[in-house]
């Protein structure tokens, strides 16, 4: 068989497309105007974007605190590119570590309540590097079934085994850990805030189970830092920072930049620093991105009301969606899913909202379980009440048009 045949099938063969999770082939979706991916934005100013001249309210961004448009963040990036240039032209391991990286690592460690931190070029690379460095041949990672793809891929890259437990289910974690060998090194890995459902890991129930079995705990706070725990993430939200061994995250959400980090004990991070292939063999995070993340951290610490505002907006919208009759699951954060079920229906609803001036994201299998396709909406501290009223008007009309609400 020609290796590339399946690639062509995605656009022409419905059976190939359906195996990939699409309701039909990509060409048909494009012809129907229902292909929701890789849409180029002409302009983006945070809460509103422009696509081919059409203005839309942005409900698809992870810019939770609205800092991508903050003048201090932008000026910090401009100043850094003027001083250091656009690239470090080397890896952290060799010539690519700036004093600026060290400053960000020290600030992050203090902010998160950990001994030290280590910065990677992307959040995805961070999970690949951390997990593959820590998990040896005789070790096992125990992951929530709705953990981010970068966690799954990091475990696949590692030499150890991966086991999975039912989503946010402490009893099933107990079952899986009980079945693990006492001799194996064990690392439980969970998202702090789950990126599709917007629900929060049940850390107070998971931690005693980890301790009972001698398992270490890693929490991915990509969608939690800047959002819960006064902005300090899931462990701070529950007051259990000392019981979480590693906190990892990304700068591409609340920090208005790009990059990833891990925070924890110095000895553990020293090990990761010397064995994480995605750190050693990748060019380091450029100075403008480091400076933007530092400036964003300044704003987070100085303006905690941004965290209050984004959560107040999300609480209000969640209640309004439920009042209309939409299913928003167990969301407790500024990520609010609108469950549709059928993938093609989800794309049709997306298109109607797009035409109504509201930009949302579509999640279909394998990003979500089969039969649980959804619209992922997310909110910013800078969204206005007037914008949210317009969003509700659009959802009301579109929901009725598609028979989602009465």
Can you tell me the mean pLDDT for 382-401? 98
Percent of the chain with pLDDT over 90: 88
pLDDT in tens, 213-258: 999 999 999 999 999 999 999 999 999 999 999 999 999 999 999 9
> What integer best gives the mean pLDDT of the chain?
95
pLDDT over 90 at 365, yes or no: no
pLDDT in tens, 195-204: 999 999 999 9
Report domain 11-64+304-401's class.
Answer: alpha beta
Query: Which entry of 253, 278, 284, 383 is annotated as an active-site residue?
Result: 253
Residue 10: which pLDDT band, with cuts at 50, 70 and 90?
A: confident
Q: Pick 14 or 328 by higher pLDDT.
A: 328
List the single range of 34-48, 104-118, 168-182, 391-405 with lowest mean pLDDT: 34-48
Residue 311: which pLDDT band, with cuts at 50, 70 and 90?
A: very high
List the single range of 14-18, 205-209, 377-381 with lowest mean pLDDT: 14-18
pLDDT in tens, 73-87: 999 999 999 999 999
Query: Which entry of 101, 148, 167, 223 is annotated as an active-site residue?
Result: 223
Can you tell me the mean pLDDT for 28-56? 91
- Three-class HEC string of the chain: CCCCHHHHHHHHCHHHHHHCCCCCCHHHHHHCCCCCCCCCCCEECCCEEEECCEEEEECCCCCCCCHHHCHHHHHHHHHHHHHHCCCCCCECCCCCCCHHHHHHHHHHHHHHCCCEEEEECCHHHHHHHHHHHHCCCCCEEEEECCCCHHHHHHHHHCCCEEEEECCCCHHHHHHHHHHCCCCCCEEEEEECECCCCCCECCHHHHHHHHHHCCCEEEEECCCCECCCHHHECHHHHHCCHHHCCEEEEECCCCCCCCCEEEEECHHHHHHHHHHCHHHHCCECCCHHHHHHHHHHHHHHHHCCHHHHHHHHHHHHHHHHHHHHCCCCCCCCCCEEEEEEECHHHHHHHHHHHHHCCEECEEECCCCCCCCCEEEEEECCCCCCHHHHHHHHHHHHHHHHHCCCCC
pLDDT in tens, 150-168: 999 999 999 999 999 999 9
- Collect all residues with Cβ–Cβ distance below 8 Å to 154 and sequence separation of at least 6: 127, 128, 129, 130, 131, 132
pLDDT in tens, 18-27: 777 788 888 8
Q: What is the fold, at CATH topology level, of the domain defined by 69-302?
A: 3.40.640
pLDDT in tens, 320-333: 999 999 999 999 99
Percent of the chain with pLDDT over 70: 100
pLDDT over 80 at 131, yes or no: yes
Q: Is 6 a catalytic residue?
A: no
**Where do the domains of the chain lie?**
11-64+304-401, 69-302
Query: Which entry of 61, 121, 150, 195 is annotated as an active-site residue?
Result: 195
Q: Is 195 a catalytic residue?
A: yes
What's the pLDDT at 362? 96
Q: Is 70 a catalytic residue?
A: no
């Amino acid at each position: 068989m020609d290796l590339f045949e399946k690639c062509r099938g995605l656009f022409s063969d419905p059976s190939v497309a359906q195996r990939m999770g699409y309701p039909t082939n990509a060409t048909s979706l494009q012809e129907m105007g229902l292909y929701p991916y890789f849409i180029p934005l002409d302009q983006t100013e945070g809460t509103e974007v422009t696509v081919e001249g059409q203005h839309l309210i942005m409900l698809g961004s992870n810019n939770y605190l609205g800092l991508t448009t903050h003048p201090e963040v932008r000026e910090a990036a401009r100043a850094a590119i003027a001083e250091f240039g656009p690239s470090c032209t080397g890896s952290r391991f060799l010539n690519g570590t700036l004093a600026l990286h060290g400053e960000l690592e020290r600030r992050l460690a203090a902010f998160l309540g950990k001994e030290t931190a280590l910065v990677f070029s992307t959040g995805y690379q961070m999970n690949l590097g951390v997990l593959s460095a820590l998990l040896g041949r005789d070790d096992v990672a125990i992951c929530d079934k709705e953990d981010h793809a970068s966690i799954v891929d990091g475990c696949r890259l590692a030499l150890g085994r991966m086991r999975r437990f039912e989503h946010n289910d402490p009893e099933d974690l107990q079952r899986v850990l009980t079945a693990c060998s006492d001799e194996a090194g064990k690392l439980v890995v969970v998202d702090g805030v789950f990126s599709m459902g917007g629900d929060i890991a049940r850390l107070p129930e998971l931690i005693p189970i980890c301790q009972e079995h001698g398992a270490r705990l890693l929490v991915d706070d990509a969608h939690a830092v800047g959002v819960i725990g006064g902005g300090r993430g899931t462990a701070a939200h529950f007051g259990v920072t000392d019981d979480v061994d590693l906190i990892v995250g990304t700068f591409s959400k609340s920090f208005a930049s790009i990059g990833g980090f891990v925070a924890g004990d110095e000895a553990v991070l020293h090990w990761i620093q010397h064995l994480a292939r995605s750190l050693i063999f990748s060019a380091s995070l450029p100075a403008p991105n480091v400076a933007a993340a530092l400036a964003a951290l300044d704003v987070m610490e100085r303006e905690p009301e941004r965290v209050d505002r984004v959560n107040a907006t999300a609480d209000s919208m969640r209640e309004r969606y439920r009042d209309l009759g939409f299913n928003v699951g167990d969301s407790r954060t500024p990520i609010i899913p609108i469950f549709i079920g059928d993938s093609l229906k989800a794309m049709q609803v997306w298109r109607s909202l797009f035409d109504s001036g509201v930009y949302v994201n579509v999640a279909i299998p394998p990003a979500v379980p089969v039969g649980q396709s959804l619209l992922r909406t997310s909110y910013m501290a800078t969204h206005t009440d007037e914008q949210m009223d317009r969003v509700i008007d659009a959802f009301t009309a579109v929901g009725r048009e598609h028979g989602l609400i009465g």
